[in-house]
Chain A
Amino acid sequence: MNKQKKKGISYAKWGYIFILPFFIAYISFTLIPQLMTFYNSLFENYRNGLTQIGPNFVGLQNFVKLFTPDKSGTIGMLKYFGNTMVLWLMGAVPQVLVALLLAVFFTSYRLNIKGQQFFKTVIYMPNLIMASAFSMLFFTLFSPVGPVNQVLLSSGMVDKAIDFLGMKISVRVLISLMNFLMWFGNTTILLMAGIQGIDQSMFEAAEIDGATSLQVFMKVTLPLLAPILVYTIITAMIGGLQMFDVPQVLTNGKGTPNRASMTMVMYLNNFLQTSKNYGMAGAVSVVLFIVSAVLSLFVYNTLSKQYKK
């Protein structure tokens, strides 16, 4: 069977015909735009009011501008990259830890958790919810006139409404809380599949040797799960780099307060929305591309290893 699979059927022409639509669509809607993006990053090209500036070739000036400190001494790109990573980490660390814990709970036959389907259904649900609507919901709940403040005020816990959206820490906590809620269920399900893929006899052997649950986890589950765990973290990181909808809607695109919750893609979006600044937006995209390409390389290795049969 396997040998036959390798031999295949020699209808070569059909192979090309079948994969053609994919490649036409990919080249015209992704590859060409990708190259145009890189090309744009070398030009000054934006709109100032009604006047169109450029396109003029400026070499790497856009990148220089991106990494030059402004009047306040902050470097735009690094600040937004930092914001993105901080926001991602604040959500991803609890996300992975909780998911790991839940995955162990769900797969432990000793614990034998009832109602697994129900719990999985509930914790996965936020992953499918429209991120912008979820963020709008949090905004209404936590706005100065929202129910959270009303409860705090009427119970006398505070005497003035808390401006959750005006403080760096609370905005960041809200964004990471949403990201956590949206992604920990997904991670749990992935890690569960990873644990279930571990040879059961390993667990049985450890048990016969009298290992405690903690020992089994540290000495058997964790080392064998490591590749999948790393894969999950890297893909989550690539997802984190794209963080946009939640902070964009929560802060109305401003990254309040003082741009402390402005992510890289929000920064990119700002250039496109306000001044059609294809040059600077292109430069931001190139940086984003390089970072995600480095991370992707890792995922690519994991996946292609699986295919080296």
Chain B
Amino acid sequence: MNNSENVKGRVHMIVARTVVYIILIFLAILCLFSFYMLIINSTRSNAQLQGGFAILPREHFLDNLKNAWNDASINIPRGMLNSFFIAACSAILTTYFSALTAYGIHVYNFKLKKPAFLFIMAVMMIPPQVSAVGFIQLMYKLKLTNNYIPLILPSIAAPVVFFYMKQYLESVLPLEMVEAARIDGSGEFRIFNQIVLPIMKPAIAVQMIFSFVSSWNNYFIPALLLDKAEMKTVPIMIAQLRSADYSKFDMGKVYMFILLAILPVLIVYIFLSKSIIKGVTAGSVKG
């Protein structure tokens, strides 16, 4: 009897597991389908694209790439270069200064330590869009439109990244280490740059990826500040593609534009997905 119950339990488990795998595979396909179609469609000519979906790639990838790359109205290589420059600068500033701020609050004792910390926590969730009006106005007054300064410098103050760095420091940095370095005669900045930063490397790497990606994808503010063709970033160009009369377009080229817009992030993700996924949780609340 015990045996038959065991068998029943095992059959039950097999059924449950099968159902779970079916759900997982369905969701995975749902996630991948549109991107798979994007990649396939970027290899098809405009004429081939009139035939609906296709499962297998065709031979026009390089033609589409050449057409998109040399397009007269949408200068995608320039856009990618611009986006890359802004995203790389933002990623470096965000991570360095968030680490610096977190270290300042974690290690030192000063009167405004607690208020400063509580302030950053309080503003952490305020959406950036609610200060956009004043921000745009200020940048117009300072004649900083069509300039990358307003897209790069504000990343020095990133409350969420600060919070992540603070939590990381709490778990990895023993204060004895700082004291020992002081006894050895190191200055405060030197301690931070040469001892603390290397310890924080994993946290910095993860946050660099996240801030690079969010800057690369950022559309709202850049679209309000950049209108010169040679200054535009990739998301602005994608939106431009949408507002043009698409029915006259070579669709192979359109798919190629979209592919180029997401490709850098996709490549980074393929190589670093494990640590990126780990980084998703590390900075959030724990029970």
Contact = CB atoms under 8 A, between A and B. Distances in A.
Interface of A: 1, 4-5, 7-19, 21-26, 29-37, 39-40, 98, 101-102, 105, 110-111, 113, 117-126, 128-141, 143, 145, 147, 150-151, 154, 181, 184-186, 189-190, 192-194, 197-198, 224, 227-228, 231, 235, 238, 241-242, 244-245, 248-249, 252-253, 265, 268-269, 272-273, 278, 281-282, 285-286, 288-289, 292-293, 295-296, 299-300, 302-304, 306-307
A24 B239 CA distance: 33
Contact of A285 (B132, B157, B276): B132
B238 A126 contact: no
B239 A249 contact: yes
A18 B101 contact: yes
Contacts, number: 329
Interface in B228-287: 234-235, 238-239, 241-243, 246-247, 251, 254-255, 258, 261-262, 265-266, 269, 273-274, 276-277, 280-281, 284-287
B112 interface: yes
Given A22-B101, A36-B137, A122-B32, A105 B127 contact: no
Contacts of A184: 27
B287 A197 contact: yes
A224 B286 CA distance: 12
B164 interface: no
Interface stretch (B58-66, B197-205, B212-220): B212-220
A249 B244 CA distance: 12
A135 B97 CA distance: 33
Contacts of A150: 50-53
Contact of A132 (B24, B238, B281): B238
Interface of chain B: mostly helix, strand, loop or mixed: helix
A265 B121 CA distance: 24
Nearest to A282: B133
A109 B242 CA distance: 47
Contacts of B226: none
B121 A303 contact: yes
A274 B157 CA distance: 30
B238 A130 contact: yes
B196 to A, nearest CB: 11
Given A30-B154, A150-B53, A292-B130, 7 more contacts: A29-B135, A33-B135, A140-B251, A184-B27, A192-B281, A238-B127, A252-B243
A292 B133 CA distance: 16
Contact of B108 (A8, A186, A190, A249): A8
B89 interface: no
Interface of B: 13, 16-17, 20-21, 23-24, 27-28, 30-32, 34-35, 37-38, 41, 49-53, 97-98, 100-101, 103-105, 107-113, 116, 118, 120-138, 150, 153-154, 156-157, 162-163, 174-176, 178-179, 182, 188, 192, 213, 216-217, 219-220, 223-224, 234-235, 238-239, 241-243, 246-247, 251, 254-255, 258, 261-262, 265-266, 269, 273-274, 276-277, 280-281, 284-287
A281 B206 CA distance: 35
A16 B258 CA distance: 45
Contact of B130 (A18, A273, A285, A303): A285
A114 B58 CA distance: 34
Contact of B239 (A26, A119, A132, A197): A132
